[in-house]
Structure 1
Amino acid sequence: MHKSNARRRLLAATLLTGALTASLVGCSSDDGGSAAEPSANEAALGTPNKATGTPVTIGFISEGKSQTIDTTDEIRGAKAAAAYANDYLGGIGGHRIEVKSCEALAQPAVATDCANQMVQAKVAAVVGPTPGELDSLVDVLSPAGVPLIVHSGTTQKGLSSPGVFSLTNGTAYFAIAATTAKDKGYKKTVAVSIGVPAALGPTKQVGGLIFGNAGAGYTVVGIPPGTADMTPQISSADADNYFVLGNDSFCTSAFKAIKTTKPDAPVFAIDRCISIGGGSSIPNGYNGINVATALNLSPDAPDSKLNSAVLAKYGDGAKFGALSSAGYAPMLGMIKALNANKVTDPNQQTVMAGMKTAPPTEYPLTNGIMFQCNGKQIPISANICSADGIVAKANKEGELSDYKQVTIDPKLYATPSP
């Protein structure tokens, strides 16, 4: 009974992590200047293998474009992945993929309408990035039996509702930071968190559990948003390294205080802390900051070269970067998993079953991270299909390089025994 209660508390804290993630996604509507023109390279596409079977419709829901956001490259990335699969991977089981897209505009009512459109169109599945209105989609698609396959989804309903597949681990940054601290021998990690409940809750509870399981020391300092000078809080913290969580403006103030008061201390941060050119007020900019991320967008990586070639041929003007990748990766990941499972008649039922029973499949743009949606990857949710993550180094301007896969032990998520 006590162990069950502990699991529920961990899940509740994890859901707050999802709330934080969703709120930060809503504030990040571009690539921060990091997107690049794709490079045309037909050889990277491989050997043609055209789909000739009857079409199968796959939905894709993104926030899209409004007066305050523009994530349309997510849609272009997803459509490019489908077009590439149609010409080079035989579509899905030989069937040509047609993408039906819809823009949710970061509004729950519009997201609900998008989901209803997908049900009416009888799509075989709906794919998405990290939806800001995930629960609105789940409320419609899960009862209708429509598989919802997203890059990351860590809201309550996203983690617990049937038929939802989160291909990456949206809670991985805690485990990446803890694993790094353990491997580097850091004894005193101080998490500097934006002082709002959606951030402080999981930073204390999920972070505390994971660092504790890793055998690494861990304390949390919550600082109110809008605090320009964090020097008093940072200088008084007993730390040999820092883990910063928040949006880019909060993180900039934290980095400035850390590099001013403890310039030699290692700094770890979530990827939403970094914006290209945003480090001008930080001593030596973002240089040397360790960044947790889900994708490896190094231009020299094999996956990136393929993605760039796909965008150049099929991307309709999409740039190579975080936005297009958030559409491209889950769409291509789903296609690869279903083809690996030899699904030949794609519909809602076969896609649902196919995702659950597909063998381990490499997630695009990770250069080696595998996902498998069999419900056994990490103990907090059967809907999360992968445990591992990626850490990279930022340069002064905020560009990332030196990407490395971090293998995460699922036991880091284990709740204490009663």
Structure 2
Amino acid sequence: MKRKVLVTYGVAVAAVALLTACSNSSPSSSSSATPSGSAAAGADPFATPNKATKSPIVVGLVNLEAGPITAPGYRTAAEAAASYVNDYLGGVGGHPIKIESCVTDGQPATSQRCANQLLDKKPVFILGGADVGGAGAYPAWTRANLAVVGAVPLTPVEQTYKNGVIFSAISGPDNAAAVSYASQKGGKSASVVYTSDAAGTHSGELFQQFFKNTGYTTVKAVPVAPTAADLSAQAAQVVTAKSDTVAVNTPVGCGSMLKTLDQLGFKGTKVVIDPCADPKVIAAAGAGAEGMIWGGPFDPPGASADSTLMAAVIKKYQPATAPITASYMGFQAVMNAQKYLSPISDKLTTESIVGAFQAGSNNANFAAHPFTCDGKQIPGAPSICNGYQHIFQYSKGATTTVGDWVNPAPAMGG
């Protein structure tokens, strides 16, 4: 019997994944979420200015930008999207978007202080950010009865917020989708290599459950100490177990593990987490990176009209923004808000905002798979409206997408 898995992401693992660049890829299928009032696909997006001239729509944003791990790209990409919307798309029904942001450091107390400061700005809704300390901010959003549009769903507070709508997901669905893809290739026995700290152990347990939910009959846990420099013993366990699939869930030691597996003759399917796709990690892995697969929620740059537009807008307004998944999520949230809230721009309430996204199904989602906000897309995470992932594969020096979008829900117990 399949067990439903609540996506309670390991904080350290998820945050590291946020800092990893999405890899370039060949074009793939997508559902383009053409913004309201935008130019035709392929046209110069900056050819015809269309300034928003009505009263501004204030939105609040708490984002992780201080401390050892940060994701400033969510805010800067969202700001780039807002500038484009305000300058070229006529804003949200004529109203410019004004983002009021507050920087947090991952501590709930800091996020709570940010939330209270932002409430003084009278936001119409909250633009969900990347914040592992969200448990401090969300009680404030609840008290004020505010909708949260978008977010990087790192913790249960984002995933289960009553008035939240999240358009893409990582650090759980991406790994589940990659496991689902591996199972379709006939995999039956797996080893899960994971860092044995609290976050890594939790993430490793999720990986093991994903394999079991997709029909793997043998799943071996292979813990790695956080300080381990030599991973040969763990790699040898994978080879000795004769696993046909390995999941490498070691953000710090990924390159070393892949390289050692190759040296020991492992020939099976290699499922990796997003940090393993970093070019520096691929270089360290050498031949061990060949054929590895992982999941990602966005069309890569150049693969669709949306992703092409996003790259151009970020380059124009916020060129220092890192091309990472968190950045794309910030941009996506603003573009979806512009598209779906423009028709109701003069009567924005929490109920009308949430209702605009909950209406219909398979709704166009900027640079990503269509979304359906029915609370059923990801087991245990009703705020997430779409968990579908592309499968990326590194082979012969290039990264490409393979197949169509993959639904991670079955691997997660849905």
TM range (shorter): 0.7 to 0.9
Q: CA deviation at 1:144?
A: 2.0
Structure 1: runs of 5+ lacking an equivalent: 36-40
Residue in 1 that maps onto 2:201: 200
SS in 2 for 1:61: strand
Residue type matched to 1:269 in 2?
A: V
Residue in 2 that maps onto 1:24: 13
Q: CA deviation at 1:321?
A: 4.4
Residues 129-187 of structure 1 show CA distances to partners (whole Å, capped at 9, x for unaligned) of: 43222222213212321222334314232233322333223321342123212221122
Residue in 1 that maps onto 2:173: 172
Distance 1:407 1:254, change over 3 A: same
Residue in 2 that maps onto 1:271: 274
Structure 2: runs of 5+ lacking an equivalent: 25-41
Distance 1:104 1:67, change over 3 A: closer
Distance 1:218 1:146, change over 3 A: farther
Q: Is the 8 A contact 2:174 2:408 kept in 1?
A: no
Residue in 1 that maps onto 2:407: 408
The 2-side partners of 1:147 and 1:323 are apart by: 20
Q: CA deviation at 1:271?
A: 0.5
The 2-side partners of 1:327 and 1:159 are apart by: 16
1:98 aligns with 2:98: yes
Residues 243-301 of structure 1 show CA distances to partners (whole Å, capped at 9, x for unaligned) of: 11132x22223212212213432211110233332344423263332122222333454
Residue in 2 that maps onto 1:124: 124
SS in 2 for 1:43: coil
Residues 310-366 of structure 1 show CA distances to partners (whole Å, capped at 9, x for unaligned) of: 123332643544453242122223333334x75542244432333333653333333
Residue in 2 that maps onto 1:260: 263
Q: CA deviation at 1:190?
A: 1.9
Distance 1:362 1:286, change over 3 A: farther
The normalised TM-score by structure 2 is 0.82
Q: Is the 8 A contact 2:95 2:345 kept in 1?
A: no
Q: Is the 8 A contact 2:20 2:277 kept in 1?
A: no
Q: Is the 8 A contact 1:81 1:310 kept in 2?
A: yes
Distance 1:361 1:82, change over 3 A: farther
The 2-side partners of 1:402 and 1:217 are apart by: 28
Distance 1:271 1:396, change over 3 A: farther
Equivalences for residues 7-156 of structure 1 within 5 A: 10-11=5-6, 14-15=7-8, 18=9, 20=10, 22-27=11-16, 30=19, 43-44=44-45, 49-64=50-65, 66=66, 68-69=68-69, 71-156=71-156
Residue in 1 that maps onto 2:31: none
Distance 1:128 1:262, change over 3 A: farther
Which of the residues 308, 313, 336 maps onto 1:310? 313
The 2-side partners of 1:176 and 1:351 are apart by: 30
Identical pairs, percent: 22
Residue in 1 that maps onto 2:249: 245
Residue in 2 that maps onto 1:187: 188
Distance 1:119 1:348, change over 3 A: farther
Distance 1:271 1:411, change over 3 A: closer
The normalised TM-score by structure 1 is 0.81
